[in-house]
Amino acid sequence: MSADMSDRITVFSPVGFPPKVVPRPLAPRLPSLQGKTVYLVDCRFDDSDVFLKQMQLWFADHMPSVKTVVKPISSVYLKDDPATWEEIKANGHAAVVGVGH
């Protein structure tokens, strides 16, 4: 048998191409959390709510002057939630974003 050009197939790599990542600096640290409000953001990833509720109990036991607010985002973790971020900017001093286990 002879192989001619019509016997060839085209194969594509399933790996794809990763998006370009633009690094961002971390937010500046607060000198203290005493008397501050810390939002514990539940991104609705597997069990993040369980972890954040445990964290809220830890703050109540170990740093009672810190107010914590467990805040679930409005949708799933793949979708942005600008209203939540605006609420945190307006009413909070810091945030912990829970993304699961």
What pLDDT was estimated at residue 8?
85
Tell me how crowded residue 28 is: count the other CB atoms within 10 A of its CB.
Answer: 6
| pTM of model > 0.95 | no
Tell me how crowded residue 29 is: count the other CB atoms within 10 A of its CB.
Answer: 8
What pLDDT was estimated at residue 77?
77
What pLDDT was estimated at residue 101?
55
Tell me how crowded residue 26 is: count the other CB atoms within 10 A of its CB.
Answer: 5
Per-10-residue mean pLDDT of the chain, 101 residues long, equals 70 84 91 97 88 96 98 87 96 89 55
- The residue ranges of every structural domain in the chain are 49-75+83-101
C-alpha 72/C-alpha 58 separation (Å) is: 19
Tokens of 41: 């953001």
Q: Which burial class, exposed, middle or buried, applies to 94 when counting CB atoms under 10 A from its CB (0-12, 13-18, 19+)?
A: middle
